[in-house]
Amino acid sequence: MPQPTEGQTSHRCSVLVIDDNGDVCEMLRVALTADGYDVAAVANGREALVYLRSHAETCMIVLDLMLPRMDGTRFRAAQLRDRSLAWIPVVVMSGGVDADRRARELGARRFIRKPLNLDEIRLALRHIGCGHSRPRVHPSTNSAGR
C-alpha cells in the first residue's frame, strides 16, 4: 500500500466483498486486512448498495455473480446507474459457466475464477490500485482509452 505524502491524511484502501458464502468473506477479510486493506463484507447486491451509500470511503469492490435477492449482474447495473457509485472499480469472482464473458460485459476491471486463488485476488487489487488516489472517471466517459 502506498504511504501518504506530506500534507495528505492517512488513507487505508477500503474493499467491499459481496459474496453470500461466509467462508469466502472471512478468508478475504483476513487475507486482505493483513495486506493493509480495510475490508467489509455483505451477502447480496441490495446490502451492498445500502453499504456503499453510507460508506463513501470504499475504493474497490470484489463481487460474486451468483447471489441471493439481488445477484451480481443486477447489482452492477444498479451501481453503474448511480453516479456516486459508478466510479468504484469491480473485480468479479465466479465459478459459473461463461462468467469471464459476463464479467467483461459488466465492465469489471478483473475476473477471478472460483475456487479463489488469494494471490490472484491480491494481484488484481494491486493492479487496479486505490480508487481514492486518482481522479474519478465515470465508466461510460472513459471508452476512448480502451
pLDDT digits (tens), the chain, 146 positions: 444 444 455 778 999 999 999 999 999 999 999 999 999 999 999 999 999 999 999 999 999 999 999 999 999 999 999 999 999 999 999 999 999 999 999 999 999 999 999 999 999 999 998 866 554 444 444 443 33
Any idea where the domains of the chain sit in the sequence? Answer: 14-124
3-class DSSP state of 60: strand
Here the cell at position 70 is: 439481488
Q: What does the alpha-carbon distance between residue 91 and residue 58 come to, in Å, rounded to a whole number?
A: 13
Residue-level pLDDT at 132: 64
3-class DSSP state of 55: coil
| CATH class of the domain whose range is 14-124 | alpha beta
Here the cell at position 33 is: 486486512
Q: What does the alpha-carbon distance between residue 34 and residue 43 come to, in Å, rounded to a whole number?
A: 22
Q: What does the alpha-carbon distance between residue 127 and residue 146 come to, in Å, rounded to a whole number?
A: 16
Here the cell at position 71 is: 445477484
What is the separation, in whole angstroms, between the first and last Cα of the chain? Answer: 26
Here the cell at position 5 is: 505524502
Here the cell at position 136 is: 474519478
At 100, the amino acid letter reads D
